[in-house]
Structures are given as structure tokens and as C-alpha cells.
Structure 1
Amino acid sequence: MTADRLPEPVRSALGRVNHGVLVDFAELEAVRRRFDEDQASSLAAYLHAAQSPNTLRAYRSDWVAWSAWCAAEGRTSLPADPLDVAVYLATAADTLKPDGAPAFSPSTLDRKSAAIAAVHAANGLPSPTRSDVVRLTLRGIRRARRSLPRRKRPVLLQTLEALLAERPEPGWPTGVARRRDALLLLVGFAGALRRGELAGLALEDVTVDVDARSGEPLLLVGLGVTKTDQTGQHQQRVVLPRGSRRPTCPVCAFADWVDLLEVHREGGHAALLELLSAESAAEPSVHRCHTYRQPASARGPLFPSVSRHGRLGAVPMSGRAVADLVQRYAERAGLDPTLFGGHSLRAGFATQAALGGASDREIMRQGRWVNPRTVHRYIRTANPLEDNAVTRLGL
């Protein structure tokens, strides 16, 4: 819920201070009382840059909910009393959906607590969430639930091929989404990318290169700010080799997509229509990546939005749109779409690589995991008997 959707009495009760802080730390009242407008604005800008846009959106929503609860209960949201925060989290934990299921997962309640802490930090105030009463309340909620986190099902290679088979038909206007979605699925799977990383890619982030040992073409995909590199200082990148078959070759998919974007850039919508109208319905089987030369002028989002009429948007897809795309193709392939999402591609890479005999180190390098325990979960999913002493019991 956003601030403008709150009931008028609640919105009025929030007051200027609370509303200003919840928007995006743009009105830091404690700062403005001591410093001039330029100094306060500079601080607000850097505090805003400290978090990803997705995190900020979630924190805004969480802060609105917390402020509304305080207004309704006659409590103070900033600075907050730790006991008030604990009661708020306990109340939220007991909130149920119409079907009787909990409205908020333990991880969501952790995020609500983090949002309250972030706003206090932005105002130079001690965090109420560090108190024992809040920490013990969250621990009690997790123990009371005693449920494993719901993880999306991994897209394995066989599933990936099934998703690719459900893309729209070649030709106009569906050929635009067909080419874009092929590249998105292959890059997300082979690159072990998160949905936000996929959505944030630009054309200039991808370079066609050649493997010095084999002479085979490959893609180098540069990543900016990532979950494990919030400042982008390490300049992480992943390499995508040429596929053994044309339909699953990331380099060929990139060449097909960039050719389409270049035609659109030079000739507009009419040129795009002409290109795809002459496109054959037969799936090409011959690799083209050995002869492909990447245009130097390629710029803009790698995965822009595409309308059902084949028109390319100027803005990139969102992370939510990436997840919806995976679910849509899963449903077309006869799979339960609720079991899949944007993370299914990244999870599929780790699981498929483990099935193929890749080591922990190899999987962690491509997926940029820093905690081996995360990778071990995927390996156990892929082959629970691998390196397991139960096979030596002689049963």
C-alpha cells in the first residue's frame, strides 16, 4: 500500500515527518533542522543510492504499513519504541489471508523490521530492532512456523528446451518476442543470473569474444550492481560459451536479437515488419556465431519491453516481468506456473551443473555465490546420494 492509498484519517495522522521519511528518505527532518537544504539533499541522495530500487520500493511499502499501524494505535513511529515494534511484528505474524494461511512469511517480517531500522538509521537514530524484545519476537515467529522456505523449482536443461519450444511463432509480429525471449532464457540459465540482473542488462554490457584455446565464439556479460556486489566495484562478469546446438546457443541467440534491434534502429517499425514478414517458419539449424560481428553502435536495454503488436519499448523489462515470462512459458509447457519464477533459471544452472559433475568451486564461480552452503542445497537437490555415507551402509 502506498501513502496516497491510505484512508484520509490515517494519512493525516502520519504527519509530515513520517510521510517525508517513508517516501525515499528525501525529507530527513532531523537533518534539515541542523543543516541547509543542499546538505540535506546531498545526504538524502546518497542514502537513496545505498539501496537497490527494489529494496527501496519494499521499504517504502513497509514503512507506510508501520506508520499506519502506529497512527491507528496512537504510537510513535519515529523514533519507535522497541516494544511497539515487537507487538507490531507479532500482530503481523498472526494476520491471516482469507484462506487461513499466514499473510506474511518470516522473511517478509524480517524485511519489515529492516525497513524500520533503515529509516531510523537515515535519521541518525538508534535502531529499535536491535533490542532483545524484537530479536526474540522474530526468532519466536520463525520457530513457531517451523517451515522450510518455499523455493522455486529449478529449470533444468530439459525444462529449458520445453520453455523454448513454447515461444511465439516466427514472423510478424510475434517474432520480436520470440527472439528476445530465447536470449533471455538462455542468458538467465547459462549465466546463472538473478531476475533483477537480467532486467538490468544493457546491450553494451555484452561482448562477443573468442575463446583463446578453442577459437570458439563466446559472450562476455558484464554485471553492474549485484546482490553480492552492491557497489559494483568488483566488475563481475560471466562467460557464456557457444552452445553445441543452434537452438540452445546463447551466442547465436544474441546475434539474432541484435540484428533485429539494429534493423529497428536504422529503419524503424516498418523495417522490422519487413524483416520478420520474410522470416521462415522453419527453425534454423546452422550456427551463425562464427561469422557474427557485433555492431559497435549497439546501445540501450538488452531486454526492452515488447508489445503484443511487435513494438519495441524504450524501457527495459522489470524483474517482475522476467518472472512472469518464465511462469507463462511454464504454463504453456503444461507445468504448474506457481512452482517456477525468475529464480528458476539461476537455480536450474546450479542444479544442472551439479548433475553434470561440476565442482562446488566451478558452480560458485559462474553463479557468484559466496556461501558454499547455498550451492550445497542445489547439489543435494540434484543428487542426494552424491558423497553420502548412506550408500556405504550395505543395506
Structure 2
Amino acid sequence: MGGSPVRLAAVEAPDAVLEPEINDELRELEAVSLDLETHTLSANTRRAYESAWRSFEEFCDAHSLEPLPAHPETVRWYVAWMSMQLDEHGLPRFSVATIRQRLAGVADRHLRDGVLDPTGHRGVSGLVRGLAKLRAVRPERKRPLLLDDVLRIIGSMEHDVYPAGVSAARDTLAIWLGFAGALRRSEAAGLQLNSVALHRLDGVHVHVGASKADQDNTLPDVVVLPYGETPSTCAPCAVHRWVALKNAVDRRQTMTLLFAYQLEEHVCGKAGTGPGLISSADLMSDAPLLRATYRNRKSARIHEQSVTGDALHTMLLARMAEAGMNPSAYGFHSLRAGHVTQARRNGASTEEIMRAGRWRKAETVNVYDREFNPAARNSVMRLGL
């Protein structure tokens, strides 16, 4: 194709209308409305949609097609083109999930401009379903890390050595947030000090706030980190150790804390173990909880900014390698998956696990059962073999 863009439009764009006369108050309201509009989607979703639209525009420009409003046939050609692209290894460059995300970006742009969404046409949706069946493969889920794995990883860290002990304290807390709290990496990275509340009976309450599964922040969001039977399995102790280190005023105080409070004794204020290292007053701040750290061979520094979710993922893989484990099939989500698998092996019900991990569908929890704990709730175990 060449020359002027081919206009294959399901619905023409509306005729231009004259902008009405508006006063200063209405202009201010318009600015507020535009700002509110930016919060309808998460930042990651907005970036994905913008990238998707750029890709669609480039395809249309290369083939002299009209991108807005686009005809369903144009979108079908776009889907077909994506299905044919290969990477350097000869494998499909675009997964079906990526193609659907690209189409969502195209749909979003059309709907925002007040024109018909061409991606909802049966010819487009049928094409995507056909591609999905053609490429049907079992999704690769991260393998779970069970309690023994977690203790092995934490036990391999240099907790009583300066400066390595500083990052070890932070990483230990991050791992317990992922395992005991069943937090996603983005949720753990987004926590603030005032997201954490000390609780005399339960240990620690964590208010997750807005998250991937609750962007409107309307669902119950309290996660419990209970006291551990031993200091080495006590997530509240990890909270106390890290926050105390963060509050240290100099290198000497940091080293004193590292050498004085190790994993052999409770430091969380559990009944009968003495006072905790911190109090509720130490948590009355909206500063990040898990902060980025820098260390060399002689010193360590705790930054003001939060660690990122990607950094937590990388950290866990590095810690696994240090513990002599192969991290290739794992990620930070392995801690959340491990929570489900370990709890189920210890007799927890689906309802209990859903409450702990804030899952809304039982089927989501059961996926982990079938994949990693197939003997659970399985009649084969009752055959008397």
C-alpha cells in the first residue's frame, strides 16, 4: 500500500465543534478534571497503553492505514502482523498476553477520543482466541519457597558483620514480608513506616493500602506478622531490628546494634522476652520502610528513598545463590506462593489462606495446590495403599 492513508473507519470521528466560552472558574475545574483523569489507571498501565498505541500508530503509518478511528480489519491485520514476529531465537516475539495488552491500549485510545472501539469486533476477538488456542501452553509459575528454604536463605546472611549486616537486616524483613505477609514485591516496596503497627498480642499489623489487586484501596488490607516460636522464625523481630538500625545515628551505634541483637534472642517485646528495640513512636512517619542501601567493604549507608520491587526480586535471587540454591525457577513471588503451599501442607483451609493473602477467589489459591502440593485434598491419599 502507498500514498494517502486508507480510511477504513467503523465510525468517523465527530465533527469539530467550537469551544464554548468558559470563565476562569470553569478553566480551573477543567484542570482538576484532567488531573483526576490521570488517576483512573495505574502508572504502569498508562505506560503500557501509551507504548501499545505508539506501536499501533507505527504499524498503520508503515502500511498507510488510518489509526484513529481504525477499522476492525486494520486491527486484524495488526494482530496477524504481531503473531508473525519472531525474536532472535526464532520464537514468537509477542505472547498472546502481550497482544491482548496492545489491543487494550488501542481500545483505550479510541474510547477516550469518543469513537467506536474496533478491538471489540467479533472478527478481532475471534482472531485472538484462535491464536491463543494455537499457542496453548501451560503458564510457567514461580516455584514456591517453603519455610525451610526461607530459613536457609536468612541463615546464610552475615547478620553480625559490619557493613554486610545492615543490608542483611533489611533483606530479612523483606523476605518475611513476602513469606509470612504474602505480600507482592510492589506492595512490600511501597510500605511506609506508618504502614506498620506494633500489636501486643498479634505481633505486627501491616496496612498494605492501595495495591495491584485493590487500586481503589477499598478492601480489607491488614496483614498480620505473628510472633515466631523462635527468634529465627519471628517476623516482628525482623521489623524491630531493621527499624532500629535505620534510626541509628552513626556507625558506632549501628555496629553496636548489629553485634548485640542477633537471631538467637527475641527483640520484639514478645511476652516474657523483655522490651522491644523500638516503640510505636518510631513508626509515626510516612518515610519508606524498606529503603535502598549502599555499602562497600568498610561502610554502609541507608538512603532516604524506597527500594524498588525489581530490586527486591533481584535481591532474593542473589540471596538464594549465596545460600547455595539454584534461583532460576524462582522470584519474589515464590515467597507468596510459598505461603500458600506451606500453610496448606500444615492444614490451613482455603478461607484462612484467602484472608491472609487477601485473595478474592478460592480458585486462585487452589492453583498453588494443584501445581505444588498435589497430594493435598486428593482422594488418592485415602485409598489405603
TM-score above 0.5? yes
| Aligned 8 A contact 1:199 1:317 in 2 | yes
Match in the other structure for 2:105: 115
Instruction: Give a deviation string over 1:222-276, Cα, whole Å, max 9, x none.
Output: 011123322112351111101122122110000011111222xxx3xxx1x2223
Question: Matched residues in 1 for 2:383 and 2:36: separation?
Answer: 58
Residue 201 (1) aligns with residue 186 (2) = no
Match in the other structure for 2:268: 289
Q: Which moved more, 1:275-284 or 1:368-377?
A: 275-284
Please give the residue correspondences for 1:1-395 in structure 2 after superposition, counting only pairs within 5 Å. Answer: 38=28, 40-211=30-201, 217-263=202-248, 267=249, 271=250, 273-278=251-256, 279-280=258-259, 283-290=262-269, 291-292=275-276, 293-298=278-283, 299=285, 300-309=287-296, 310-391=300-381
User: What secondary structure is seen at the aligned counterpart in 2 of 1:49?
Assistant: coil
Instruction: Give a deviation string over 1:293-341, Cα, whole Å, max 9, x none.
Output: 4242532001111123422222212221121122222232333333111
| Aligned 8 A contact 2:197 2:280 in 1 | no
What one-letter code is carried by the residue in structure 1 that aligns with 2:252? E
Between the two proteins, what is the percent identity of the paired residues? 35
Aligned pairs, number: 354
Question: Matched residues in 2 for 1:323 and 1:188: separation?
Answer: 11
- Name whichever structure is richer in helix by fraction: 1
Question: Matched residues in 2 for 1:363 and 1:144: separation?
Answer: 35
User: What secondary structure is seen at the aligned counterpart in 1 of 2:264?
Assistant: coil
For structure 2, list consecutive stretches of 5 or more residues without a partner in the other structure: 1-15, 270-274
| Aligned 8 A contact 2:198 2:280 in 1 | no
Question: Matched residues in 2 for 1:32 and 1:65: separation?
Answer: 32
Bigger Cα Rg? 2
For structure 1, list consecutive stretches of 5 or more residues without a partner in the other structure: 1-29, 212-216
Match in the other structure for 2:8: none
Instruction: Give a deviation string over 1:90-135, Cα, whole Å, max 9, x none.
Output: 2222222211222222222221122222222333333222111221
What one-letter code is carried by the residue in structure 2 that aligns with 1:202? Q
CA-CA distance at 1:344 after TM superposition: 1.2
CA-CA distance at 1:286 after TM superposition: 0.9
Distance change >3 Å, CA 76–CA 45, structure 1 → 2:
farther
Distance change >3 Å, CA 112–CA 255, structure 1 → 2:
same
Q: Which moved more, 1:179-188 or 1:50-59?
A: 50-59
CA-CA distance at 1:364 after TM superposition: 0.5
Question: Matched residues in 1 for 2:324 and 2:93: separation?
Answer: 29
